[in-house]
Amino acid sequence: MKKFNFRKVLDGLTAASPVGSSGGGSGSGAGGSVHPGGTAGAAGTPREEIQETLTSDYFQICKTVRHGFPYLPTALAFDPVQKILAIGTRTGAIRILGRPGVDCYCQHESGAAVLQLQFLINEGALVSACADDALHLWNLRQKRPAILHSLKFNRERITYCHLPFQSKWLYVGTERGNTHIVNIESFILSGYVIMWNKAIELSTKTHPGPVVHLSDSPRDEGKLLIGYENGTIVFWDLRSKRADLRAYYDEAIHSVAWHHEGKQFMCSHSDGSLTLWNLKSPNRPFQTTIPHGKVQRDGKKPESCKPILKVEYKTCKNSEPFVVFSGGLSYDKPCRRPSLTIMHGKAITVLEMDHPIVDFLTLCETPYPNEFQEPYAVVVLLEKDLIVVDLTQTNFPIFENPYPIDIHESPVTCTEYFADCPPDLIPVLYSVGAKHKKQGYSNKEWPISGGAWNLGAQTYPEIIITGHADGSVKFWDASAITLQMLYKLKTSKVFEKQKVGEGKATAEIVEEDPFAVQMMYWCPESRIFCVAGVSAYVIVYRFSKHEVNTEIASLEVRLQCEVEDIITPEPETNPPFPDASSQLPSLKSLSGSTNTVACEGTMKDSIPCLSVKARPVRMPPGYQADLVIQLVWVDGEPPQQITSLAVNSAYGLVAFGNCNGLAVVDFMQKTVLLSMGTLDLYGSSDPYQRQPRSPRKSRQFAAGLTELSDSPVSLELERCKSPTSDHVNGHCTSPTSQSCSSGKRLSSADVSRANRRGPGRPPFRKAQSAACMEISLPVTTEENRENSFSRSRSSSVSSIDRDSKEAITALFFMESFARKNDSAVSSCLWVGTGLGMVIILSLNLPASDDLRQSEPVMVSPSGTVLTLKGAVLTFACLDCMGTLTHQPYEVWRDPHSADDGDKTRKRKLVMHSPSSSQDMGDHQFAVICSEKQAKVFSLPSQTCLYVHNITETSFLLRADVVTLCNSVCLACFCANGHIMTLSLPSLRPLLDMNYLPVTDMRIARTFCFTNEGQALYLSSPTEIQRLTYSQEMCDNLQDMLGDFTPVETPEAQNRGFLKGLFGGSGQAFDREELFGEATAGKASRSLAQHIPGSGGIEGVRGAAGGVIGDLTRAHALDERGQKLGELDERTASMMASAEAFSKHAHEVMLKYKDKKWYQF
C-alpha cells in the first residue's frame, strides 16, 4: 500500500502519462450517490498522509448482462422441456430467455444474421444457422455459452434446417434444392445426400427452387417431407433412397405443418391459401381454403390474398385442432396492421399487431410430434416486441411480459445509473408505479419459465433512469443484474398539447418530439428530480405519496447575450442598460404560463417554446411538478439548448447553463437569482483578452438531439463534440440580469438573424433517440473538416480566436472554500465551461431555515478562476482524509403530508458544516476532470497538487468520481474506446483498456459510470448493456448469471397395441446405421469445412456431466474403436495388395526371362 505525503507533491507535478483518444463530450455534473464525509477549513497547507487502498488488482472490465428487446430480430426457437426461448438477430446476436432474471446474451464473431435456431431439446445445446452459410453448435451448459463446433458450407447456401426430437442428425436444406445431413456430435457432414434431381420426377423440366421446409413424419421417422419453393412436395423414404410420393401445387409454398398422426399435412401458399393434403391421395389437396379471401358470388375460387408466411397445425384431444398462421390478409385493405390469425373449429380470430411479425411458435404440452399437441400459448416475435398469447381462454388474452423489453417504447435519449442508493427507494417507487398497471392480461403464469439464477453476493440496490424522446422518464430496479420497471413519469403532462393550426408562435417552433428529455439530475436522498428538455426548459419535481390537484408554477428566463460589433471590435465591456421601455420581466405569474404571442410578421420575443398548463392539474402519487423554467426567444432568436444541469435540495436551488450563459433559480421561492452570459461570470478575473466578434459566419446548429440529414457530419456530433472548438449555436450573448436585458444593438442585427437560419427552418428538429445516431467520418468541405469528430483539436486557448462563445458544460453545488485562504467553507456553485475554465460562485443563503422562504438568496462571483485543458466534465470534493464528501441535501419529507405540524414543516438538512467536522482537518481537495486532463486542487490554498494529462489525441466523453471497495477513484470513458480509472487524490493510472469502440453517438450519449464498479451504455436502439470494471464483480459474476440445466424429459405416451402394430416402422429406424460413414461414406471435403469452436475446455467441462458428455465420451470411444478397426482392415488390404503385386511381378519376370532385348 503506497503512501503519499503532500509536503513533497510539488516535486511530482510533472507526473502525467498521456493516452491516445478522439472527439468531445458534453459532461454533466458529478452524479451518483456518495457517502458523507467532512469538510472543514482554516487556511493552511496539507499535512496529513493519505493511504490509497486501490491498486490495479482491483480493476477488470467485463460485460455483465444485456437488457431490453433484441435489436432487429430474425429467428425464434423454443425448448418445450426446459421452457426456454432463443431469439436470433440480424447482427448475429442470440438472446436466450427463461424465467424473469434468466437472460443470456451471446454473439457470433462473424456478425452474420441468424437465419434459424434449433434447440437440442433438453440437451443444453443450440444450433444456429447464419446468413454466411455457417452452422454453429452452442453449449448452453456453461455460464457463458460458447461455440463447440462450426460447419461452413462453401458451395451451397443454407435455407432451412430441421432437427428431430432426440436425434443427433440435422437435416440441412439448401438454395440449390439439395438436402444434406450433419452429425450434431462431430459436426461433420454425412455422405448421405438427397439431390434435388433425384427427389423430383425425371420428366420435370424445371428446377423446384430452394428447400423451404424439412420435417420427418410423426408416424415414421424414416420418411422425410421436403417442401420446395415452387410448390413441389416430396415424401422421401430415407431407407430406400427414393421418393414415396410427390405432390404439386401451382402456388409457391412458404411453410408446411403435420397433423400429429402423420397422415395429413397442411401447406401455406403465396396466394393466401391453406391446402390440406392426405398421404393416401397426393394428386391434389383434399381441402383448399383462403381464410381471408372474399367469396365470389358466381361460385368461383375466392380472390387471392397476401402470402401466408407460416402456418402451424396443432391438435387437441378434447377439442377441434388449432390452425395458427401469420399473413394472408386481403389486398383490398392496404392499411391493415400485421396480423396473426387463430382458427379453432369454425371460429376465426384475427389479432392485430403493432409491428410486423418476424416469426411465431405455438407452445405445446408435449415435445413428441406423434402425440396430441395440446397447444396452450403462441409466442409472437415482432420487429420491436415480444407477445405471448394465451390459447386456453376463448378471448385469447396476452400474458403480461415480465421482461424489460419496452425500454425502446419511445427512443432513449439519455441515461443515468445509481448504485448503492438508499434501500427504501425501490419499494417506494414500485408502490406508486404499480397503481398504473394495465388490466386485461391472462391470469396464467408466464410460460417461458426455464433456467435458474442466483442473487450472488451483490446485495446493494441499483436504479437506472432512462429519458425518452416523448418526454417520458422510466425508473428501473437494476439490482443483482436484473431489470424491472418501477415507475414511469410523463414530463409532457405539464405542457399544453400542441394543436394543428395553433399560432405560429408555438406551432413553428418545434417540429417533432418537442418534449424529448435531454438531461436528468436526481438526488436519491432528497428525492428531488430535475429534467432538462430539448425545447430549452427545466422541470423540478418533488416526490409525494399523495395525490394533489394544483396549479403548476412557471418561470421564464431570458438568457441571451449579444456581441454583434463586426465593424469595430472593442475590448469586452458591460454595455449600458437600455431604457426602461425595453426591459422585459423574466419572472412570470406563478399560477401558469400565459405566453405573449407575437403578431404575425413581427419578431418573436419573450416567447417560450411550449405553453405550460395554466389550469389546476391533477397529479397522482409519485413525482409531481414543482416548477417549470423555460428559456424564451430573444429578438427572433430561439433559446439554445441546455448543456448542463444541477440541483441542490439543501440550498433549494437549480442551476442550468447553455452556450449563452448560466441561470440560477430558487425553486423554493420560485424566483430567478441569476441570468448571466458566460463572459460576465468572470468579471475582472477573465484570464483571456477576448475580442467581441459576430459569429455570423458560423453556421447555426440549433438542435442537440437531431436527425442526421443536414451534412456528412452529424448535427448530433456537434452536441457531443468538444465544446473546446464547437461552433456553438447562434451568436454570442450579453448579460441579462433578473428582470432586464441589455446589450448593444446594430441596425443590421435583425437582417443577419433572419439570414442566419433559412426561411421557415425551425430551431428544433425531431429529437432522435440516442440510438439512431452514427458518426459520419468522411468529410468533404472545409467546414465539415473543421467540425469532424475524428480530427485532433487544438487547445482551449487557441480556440478563442475562432469562437467567442463559451458553453457551460458542468455545474456542482458543494460546501467549499470559495476564495483563496478562506478560513471556513461556505455554500458554492462550481461552474465549468467549454474552454476549460472553472468559476466559483458564492451562495449567500439565509442564516436560519425559518427565513429561507422570505429572505432572498444572493449569488455572486467569488473571483476564483481555475483552468484546465479542454471542456470541463465533472467535479468532486474530497475531505482532508481523501474521503468523498456528499453534496449537502435535505432529508426527504412528503410535501403534501396530512400532518402539518411544525415538526413536519421544518426542513432537516445534512450540510457537513464546519461545526460538525472540525476534527476532519482544515482543508479539502477539489477533483476536476475535463475532456483532456484531470487536476486535484488543495483548498483553500488553490494549489494544484496533481495533474494528469489523460489524452492528447482524443477526448473524454464521460468522467465520474465513484466509490469502489470503500475507496474512491476517477472513472473515464474516452472517445477512442478506452476505459480508464485513476486513483484519488494522486491521479495514478490504475486501469487503461481499449474496450469499447465508439461506433456511433448512441454509445457516447448514454455511457455512464456509477459506484461499486458498475457502468452501462445503450448498445443498440433497444438494448442496455451493463458492464463492470471491478475485479471482485468479475469474479462473482459466474454465480449470478442464469444457467440452463437439463431437466427430466417427460415420458412418451403409451401408443397402445394396435397403434404399435399398424403405426408404421418409425421406432425401428436407425439413423446411425443409415447416415454413418460406414454406410453412407464421407461427404466431399470441398462442400463444407469443419471449424473447431472457441468453447474450449470450459465447454467440454460444461458438457461432461450430462447426457451430451456421456454421448461424447461414448462416441469418442466408438470412434477410436472404428478407427482401429479401419486401420486393421487397411493393413490387411495393403498386405493383400502387396502380395498380389509380388505375384504379378514374378509372373512378368518368368514370361520375359529368356527373351533377348531385340525380341521385346
Maximum Cα interatomic distance, the chain, rounded to a whole number of Å? 138
Helices marked H in 365-496 — which ranges? 425-433
Q: 105: which residues sit within 8 A by CB, 6+ positions away? A: 63, 65, 66, 93, 94, 95, 96
On the question of pLDDT at 595 being above 60, the answer is no
- Do residues 317 and 324 lie in contact, with contact meaning Cβ atoms separated by under 8 Å? no
Using CA atoms, how far apart are residues 757 and 699, in angstroms rounded to an integer? 8
Best CA proximity match to 76, nearest among 354, 392, 385: 385
HEC profile for 19-73?
ECCCCCCCCCCCCCCCCCCCCCCCCCCCCCEEECCCCHHHEEEEEEEEEECCCCE
For CA atoms 267, 273, 274, 276, give the dihedral sign: negative
**Entry pTM:** 0.79
Using CA atoms, how far apart are residues 105 and 109, in angstroms rounded to an integer? 13
Least confident piece of the model among 180-189, 298-307, 744-753, 763-772: 744-753
pLDDT digits (tens, 9 = 90+) for 68-122: 999 999 999 999 999 999 999 999 999 999 988 888 999 999 999 999 999 999 9
Integer-rounded Cα Rg, in Å, for the chain is 36
Using CA atoms, how far apart are residues 148 and 124, in angstroms rounded to an integer? 12
pLDDT digits (tens, 9 = 90+) for 449-502: 988 877 666 678 999 999 999 999 999 999 888 899 999 999 999 999 876 555
On the question of pLDDT at 601 being above 50, the answer is no
- Output 559 or 603, whichever has higher pLDDT: 559
pLDDT digits (tens, 9 = 90+) for 51-81: 889 999 999 999 999 999 999 999 999 999 9
Give me 306's grid cell.
397476401
pLDDT digits (tens, 9 = 90+) for 351-391: 999 999 999 999 999 999 999 999 999 999 999 999 999 99
pLDDT digits (tens, 9 = 90+) for 831-843: 999 999 999 999 9
